[in-house]
Structure 1
């Protein structure tokens, strides 16, 4: 895959095609319950929700339940009792290097996809027993609340607001918000250069919150998924993208005419999200992540998917647990 990612013309076409595809799901099979909403559609702007958790009670939102290899309850049993027995995971299919559909093979690939398969192996003893469901950014939490998916593995930031709605694993990667703009743009980062500019970000993302809280004067445009924003810039309908730096690096690899021009320097921990009541499932995922860090699988996945465009990361973030 290194060959196609660096070719600007092909990459732009791939980005446009991927963003306009309807949601797909499955272990490379169609899931009939998948969200069939086209990823390229626009959505009405909505204000980001105010944080619900009291800051004094939320100093370490990334602290999770301690791992267990034997925890069993409603969450694990729901998965094991399903016919056919499958883990249903909400993912992105448009984020190059994280969760994307390889245009040459049609298969879902990336850092998050590898992790989801490993979780299926931990819970069901078989990494192939997983169904992937394409979930727009704004639908991640509703899909977990309604139990349309068992978990979301989709570069999802753990924060004080979200832990009031869903449960998270320990942190498996650390991101930051970034500005992605075309080469030659006068946009320089999270500053006054965004004033009056059409800046696209995904609805319900931490990028939306960063733009609305920052007072930069940007004309914020919301889209269902972050790759839709890249397409809008390519079509001249937006001036820049705000998204996680991990995703922005992938977009810049897809389209070398784009460049990262600034970050917030505010670390954002990524976690596997689950229904807030699935404590047993959280413990099982944390056991997998504990092993994933120790046995080298995290580092292998990093080298395969991320090291070329996000170099210099020595290892996974250390887990934090609740007392």
Structure 2
């Protein structure tokens, strides 16, 4: 690593020796990327780089809700109906010749950089390529921009990206800020902690006094604000803001590094992401059960309705085969038992 690497990364790299070879070093590399916040990632191809039930295997069912009910946020997952028409947003993308997508490059199995090939891979990356293929006729006609968790909405507002495909939970607060597609994955918040930490049993009173790491701007942080069970998770936990209190991080993978360094006692994040972290480090495990039900959606800037409708059109086809193949390739080994994608819900 370069001499200018952040001290946390250097300590992580030293501690990670013996934590699992290539996978462990991928954690260190992911931490480096998230701390330096490189605005553009290269994909290796030359380009710059939810209780509804799931559907039976392919999620082909359709649910319809009243628009007024959606406006009161009773159904935040309700999205616009699919359409393949070329509106202004689609026309701008076609004129550019590239779809610009905000992704993660450090979430194992979702969006991460393979340590050997240096290409971006994962479940979300496959979906982004499927959208590019539908809009532009080429799955490689995509520019991937690596963005941290707390910059997803800002990246859309500023026009830096057309879409965010980055394990982004649809909720009532966010639908006021961005426009979401229909849900493409169901997840839930859960606690990740060392296997040896037998005193931590899940999202409950066992967290009292424990130092908890979350990603800034994540739904995990919002849940802890509602009920922390006495856990320490805020920056000014001791009444003064200093480096010792930086328990929130830009990206979830940074939490795994802090856990390995002994700087925190547990992590709260989506179980879909936590399963990937547990796969990287056999010394940690998921504790208790998921305590929320959340749905991931593809996010676009508010007002770009034609783009949202086009993504929903892609998702109609994606649920019928490609979704299952992507799940089996990337997620099934570490997150088994998912019967299929969520059913689409329309306004």
Q: TM-score, normalised by structure 1?
A: 0.87
Indicate whether 1:299 and 2:324 are aligned: yes
> Which residue pairs with 1:164 in the alignment?
176
Alignment RMSD, CA only? Answer: 1.6
Indicate whether 1:130 and 2:130 are aligned: no
Unaligned runs of 5+ in 1: 1-6, 35-53
Q: 1:99-138 residue pairs with structure 2 within 5 A? A: 99-138=111-150
Q: 1:207-286 residue pairs with structure 2 within 5 A? A: 207-220=220-233, 221-286=247-312
Indicate whether 1:14 and 2:40 are aligned: no
Q: CA deviation at 1:310?
A: 1.0
Of the three residues 67, 80, 97, the one matched with 1:65 is 80
Structure 1 residues 140, 239: CA separation in 2 closer, same or farther (over 3 Å shift)? same
The secondary structure found in structure 1 opposite 2:217 is: coil
Q: CA deviation at 1:212?
A: 1.1
Q: CA deviation at 1:249?
A: 0.1
Aligned positions, number: 291
On the 8 A contact 2:70/2:78 being kept in 1, the answer is: no
Q: CA deviation at 1:267?
A: 0.9
On the 8 A contact 2:70/2:76 being kept in 1, the answer is: no
> Which residue pairs with 2:202 in the alignment?
189
How many Å separate the matches in 1 of 2:221 and 2:142? 31
How many Å separate the matches in 2 of 1:286 and 1:261? 34
How many Å separate the matches in 1 of 2:22 and 2:117? 15
Q: CA deviation at 1:217?
A: 1.1
The secondary structure found in structure 2 opposite 1:247 is: helix
> Which residue pairs with 1:79 in the alignment?
93
> Which residue pairs with 2:345 in the alignment?
320
How many Å separate the matches in 1 of 2:255 and 2:337? 27
The secondary structure found in structure 1 opposite 2:288 is: strand
On the 8 A contact 2:156/2:163 being kept in 1, the answer is: yes
* Structure possessing the higher radius of gyration over alpha carbons: 2
On the 8 A contact 2:258/2:264 being kept in 1, the answer is: yes
The secondary structure found in structure 2 opposite 1:263 is: coil
Q: CA deviation at 1:30?
A: 7.2
Q: CA deviation at 1:147?
A: 1.0
> Which residue pairs with 1:198 in the alignment?
211
CA deviations on 1:84-137 (whole Å, 9 max, x unpaired) are x10000000000000000001101000000000000011111111001000000
How many Å separate the matches in 2 of 1:219 and 1:104? 37
Structure 1 residues 30, 119: CA separation in 2 closer, same or farther (over 3 Å shift)? closer
Indicate whether 1:26 and 2:26 are aligned: no
Q: TM-score, normalised by structure 2?
A: 0.81
On the 8 A contact 1:67/1:283 being kept in 2, the answer is: yes
How many Å separate the matches in 2 of 1:262 and 1:13? 28
Q: CA deviation at 1:56?
A: 7.8
Structure 1 residues 129, 56: CA separation in 2 closer, same or farther (over 3 Å shift)? closer
Q: CA deviation at 1:263?
A: 3.4
How many Å separate the matches in 2 of 1:124 and 1:65? 21
Of the three residues 94, 103, 111, the one matched with 1:91 is 103
